[in-house]
Structure 1
Amino acid sequence: MMRHAREPRAEDRPHRFARVRAILAGGLVLGVGGSLTMAAWTDSEFGQATFTASSFNTESSINTGSTWADSTAVAPLVFAFSAAAMSPTTVKYAPFWVRTKTVSLDGTLSLQTATSNNTAFAAALKYRVVRYSTGTCDSSQFSAGAVYIVGAAGLPAAGGAALTSTPTVSTGVAANQSAVTQLCFEVSMNADAPNTLQGGSITATWEVKATSSS
């Protein structure tokens, strides 16, 4: 006996129609979505920059700019003091010039505490340092209106600083070798230097520490 397919009942028809409509709607959504993806074009823009570090380099001269060189703690420049035959009240002078190299930032110079190989001799010495722009490095630079980096105006023994003292004043150095910072050193022996120093010697070393401004 054959069974005939059941005719859909009237109450089933709305539900079936709703399912068909939902499926068709879903297909439409998928179709629209696919269509938008297929039609989209892409393009990009790029930007790039290369950054290079700045430089800060200094060099120094002990002969008023006739020659320039890099100096180090191992190989310092030797001051042009006429430093032989020191005795009580003797005063000696020597220039020390500093400048930046080409393509260098500007900065500041700070004179550090001197080091020496003879503590007793160092105790009998005082020094002053001024910044000057013209003239010779001699006693004329140490006037009341001078720019003192170490010490102050007055007699060397009175206005000077002990060789072992720490200076506190800094001075500028111009960028790109555009100007020279000219320093004049004055070193004197105290009037009360002991006789035990006769025939002795001392090697004193100063560091001029340079720091870039940026």
Structure 2
Amino acid sequence: MAAITSHRSRRLRALLAGGLVLGLGAIVTLAAWNDSEFATGTFAAGSFNLQGSSTDGVSFADHASAPGAALGFVVNPANLAPADSTYAPFAVRLAGNTSSPAVVTVTAGGSGGSLTGLTYRLIESATWGCSAATTGTDLVPAATVLGTVPGSVTFGLTTGSPVSAPGAPVFLCFVVTADSGLVQGQTGTATWEFTAVSQP
């Protein structure tokens, strides 16, 4: 009887030992199936720059504060009389390496002196130049009081292709007209602001 008990005891110890070994083997196997994945996003801001040209529609520069680029009116704006009109071209574009298109809003950037009896019209034209013959889309209608901008006046600008190149310019024509309210000897200045906001 003692021999049978001893044999059973050894068998039980062997099974328990085997169970422990199998248990340890299961833990090691599970640990070997662990895996990890990593994802990294890299973020960089694009560039955005609006430029203007008041000389030839080809040479562009930054005019980031008033008074900005001087408009070259073709009729002497210092010697106006009622019914005279004077014309000045201007152009804006997005600089090279600008990564987003833009919507440009035109606002009155301020005025000084006296602008009595002066009105203007702002035309978006297809080509550089500004004269009585210039046609295009009226951004600001004729007879608008000089020094003001009515409502919301906007237009779009595109980026260059490739992006390292400047975007296509938008050509503008300012037409300033004197009426019977013009006061002799008066002088004044009007400034327009072009604010470009990037679009997605």
TM-score, structure 1 length as denominator? 0.72
Q: Verify: 1:149 aligned to 2:139, yes or no.
A: yes
Q: Does 1:63 align with 2:58?
A: no
Q: Which amino acid aligns with 1:80?
A: G
**Rounded Cα–Cα distance in structure 1 between residues aligned with 2:34 and 2:28:** 15
Give the alignment partner of residue 166 of structure 1, picking from 132, 150, 153: 150
Match of 2:64 among 68, 72, 89: 72
Gap change, CA 1:31 and 1:115, over 3 Å in 2: closer
Deviation at 1:186, TM superposition (A): 0.5
State the alpha-carbon separation in 2 of the partners of residues 213 and 68 from structure 1.
22
Contact 2:57 2:171 in 1 (8 A): no
Corresponding position of 1:96: 90
Match of 2:104 among 99, 109, 120: 109
Structure 1 residue 166, shift from structure 2 partner: 2.8
The yes-or-no answer on 1:181 pairing with 2:181 is: no
CA contact (8 A) 2:111 2:191 kept: yes
TM-score, L = length of structure 2: 0.76
**Corresponding position of 1:4:** none
Larger radius of gyration: 1
1:164-185 CA distance string (max 9 Å, x none): 2434231111212231100000
Helix, strand or coil: the match of 1:207? Answer: strand
Letter in structure 2 aligned against 1:84: A
**1:134 pairs with 2:116:** no
Match of 1:6 in 2: none
Distance of 1:190 and 1:46 partners within structure 2: 72
Name the SS for the 2:82 alignment partner. Answer: coil
| Alpha-carbon separation, structure 1, partners of 2:19 and 2:133 | 100
Structure 2 runs not aligned, ≥5 long: 1-8, 161-165
Q: What are structure 1's unaligned runs of at least 5 residues?
A: 1-15, 152-158
In the alignment, is the contact (CA less than 8 A) between 1:111 and 1:167 conserved in 2?
no
